[in-house]
Structure 1
């Protein structure tokens, strides 16, 4: 597994508080980014599930006809 470095500019006061409380910034950032990616992937799955439910209601013949008419317009 390879890694990359991510940096952010923060206020000095915040940096000092992080050091004061012994907060490991890399762990916090890593967990926050992993959680955000997980949340976004979950949103995409839900959107795909809703799209699938809608598409399953459309008869296949109607989809075929729409594709054919689209090709004919070219």
Structure 2
């Protein structure tokens, strides 16, 4: 589903962009789609931060011991 938005710009700007072969509709659409992706990414990062706030950090040396145990078990 899509919706229509309308934007007013100076006639001079529109004419200059069109003179240089720029598709204004496509550029505005592309900009808004990229902005949407950035907003969604920020939402996901913020939700991950909230989720990880409740996780306590591993104790000192945990990774080293874990890797060593794994290697020695084979």
Within 2, Cα distance between the matches of 1:24 and 1:7?
A: 15
The aligned counterpart of 2:52 is 53
Q: Following TM superposition, where does structure 1 have runs of at least 4 consecutive aligned residues deviating by more than 6 angstroms? A: none
More relative contact order, 1 or 2 (CA 8 Å, 6+ apart): 2
Partner residue in 2 for 1:9:
8
> Structure 1 unaligned runs (5+)?
58-74
Return the structure number with greater helix share.
1
| Count of equivalent residues | 56
TM-score by length of 1: 0.67
Larger Rg: 2
The CA distance in 2 between the partners of 1:39 and 1:33, in whole Å, is 10
Q: How well do the aligned residues superpose, as a CA RMSD in angstroms?
A: 1.3
CA distance in 1, matches of 2:47, 2:26: 32
- TM-score w.r.t. the length of structure 2 is 0.67
User: Structure 2 unaligned runs (5+)?
Assistant: 57-74
